[in-house]
């Protein structure tokens, strides 16, 4: 389960040391935009040492590397892959070929380290107009892709439009990414809400993303993590309904009924699948039996 992903700058020891106590389901250790060109070497070595020596509890580790058109991305992977992060985030992902270039290089390093193939997954960051248009190509580029992620700040600069809190300017990109991800059967993550102090706005923005089909949302502030986790968790009402659906299905099976209804509405495959997803989330959040 990955509802929230929190960015942590890769050259800040005090934040890196506490990455797993901030409540996020995943942390993104950032070697790209949060690190100045002069400190790329320093951040890469620091993040490597942190991963080697600290055991992050209860959250996934994602490392955002530098773009493929820089001299840094292969050096980033050389240092980071041996530490077996859960996912690598290639920024500025513009096509399937771009993603496969990163994936092939990771594959070589995995082989060298004796890891099973596709141990380290990919979550390409789509933040250009070309990337949005190629979203399905990116999401289905290779088996290593586990999710795609929308980055609206760079995207709106590329689109030459103003980034607003209302986010009308990224409506198409959001819909395009959700559709591409679902077609490719991978997860999809929404762009961070950048006003750190506006918690009400954050919740509203996360609710919009959830209603559109996003799996979760990234954050640049630990203050946003709780709000994102709450929005992307099933409500008590949804959990109760999911249990009711599964109980009704079980009862119908025992009684040999082919078609069943709950509260006057027929229970079909999509309703059952949705109920299963809600119960999986319930188990991941609250624990419990299968």
Question: Nearer to another protein by C-beta: 46 or 132?
Answer: 46
Whole-number minimum distance, CB 278 to another protein, in Å? 40
54: contact with another protein by CB under 8 A = yes
φ, ψ of residue 175 in degrees (nearest 5): -65, -40
How far apart, in whole angstroms, are the C-alpha atoms of residue 26 and residue 153?
21
Question: Nearer to another protein by C-beta: 17 or 130?
Answer: 17
Question: Nearer to another protein by C-beta: 79 or 154?
Answer: 79
Whole-number minimum distance, CB 46 to another protein, in Å? 4
Beta strand residue intervals within 103-173, DSSP E: 121-122, 125-126, 147-150
48: contact with another protein by CB under 8 A = yes
Q: Which of 20, 49, 201, 262 binds another protein (CB under 8 A)?
A: 49
Question: Nearer to another protein by C-beta: 50 or 87?
Answer: 50
Helices 73-80 and 96-113 meet at what angle, rounded to 10?
A: 40
Tell which residue, 167, 95, 166, has the closest CA to residue 130: 95
Residues 7-26 contacting another protein, CB under 8 A: 12-14, 17
Count the site residues for another protein by CB under 8 A: 14
DSSP structure string for 44-59: HHHHHHHHHH----SS
HEC profile of 180-218: HHHHHCCEEEECCCCCCCCHHHHHHHHHHHHHHCCCEEE
How far apart, in whole angstroms, are the C-alpha atoms of residue 197 and residue 165?
13
E strand or H helix that includes residue 164: none
How far apart, in whole angstroms, are the C-alpha atoms of residue 6 and residue 101?
26
Whole-number minimum distance, CB 52 to another protein, in Å? 7
Question: Nearer to another protein by C-beta: 52 or 277?
Answer: 52
Whole-number minimum distance, CB 14 to another protein, in Å? 4
Question: Nearer to another protein by C-beta: 53 or 211?
Answer: 53
80: contact with another protein by CB under 8 A = no
45: contact with another protein by CB under 8 A = yes
Tell which residue, 20, 23, 21, 1, has the closest CA to residue 287: 1
Whole-number minimum distance, CB 48 to another protein, in Å? 8
Q: Give the distance, in angstroms, between the CA of residue 155 and the centroid of all CA atoms in the same chain.
A: 17
Binding residues for another protein (CB under 8 A): 12-14, 17, 41-42, 45-46, 48-50, 52-54
């Amino acid at each position: 389960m990955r509802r929230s992903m929190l960015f942590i700058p890769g050259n800040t020891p005090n934040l890196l040391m506490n990455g797993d106590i901030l409540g996020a389901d995943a942390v993104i250790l950032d070697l790209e935009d949060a690190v100045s060109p002069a400190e790329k070497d320093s951040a890469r070595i620091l993040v490597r040492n942190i991963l080697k020596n600290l055991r992050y509890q209860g959250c996934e580790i994602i490392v955002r590397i530098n773009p493929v058109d820089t001299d840094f991305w292969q050096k980033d992977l050389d240092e980071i892959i041996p530490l077996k992060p859960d996912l690598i985030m290639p920024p500025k992902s513009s096509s399937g070929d771009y993603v496969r270039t990163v994936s092939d290089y990771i594959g070589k390093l995995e082989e060298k380290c004796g890891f099973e193939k596709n141990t380290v997954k990919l979550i390409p960051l789509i933040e250009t107009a070309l990337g949005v248009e190629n979203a399905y190509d990116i999401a289905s580029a290779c088996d290593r892709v586990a999710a795609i992620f929308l980055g609206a700040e760079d995207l709106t600069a590329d689109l030459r439009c103003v980034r607003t809190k209302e986010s009308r300017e990224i409506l198409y990109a959001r819909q395009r990414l959700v559709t591409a991800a679902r077609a490719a059967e991978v997860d999809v993550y929404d762009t961070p809400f950048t006003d750190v102090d506006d918690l009400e706005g954050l919740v509203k923005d996360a609710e919009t993303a959830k209603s559109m089909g996003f799996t979760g949302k990234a954050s640049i502030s630990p203050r946003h993590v709780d709000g994102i986790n709450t929005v992307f968790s099933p409500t008590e009402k949804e959990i109760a309904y999911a249990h009711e659906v599964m109980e009704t299905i079980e009862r119908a099976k025992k009684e040999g009924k082919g078609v069943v209804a709950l509260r006057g509405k027929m229970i079909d495959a999509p309703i059952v699948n949705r109920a299963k997803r809600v119960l999986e989330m319930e188990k991941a959040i609250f624990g419990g039996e299968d």
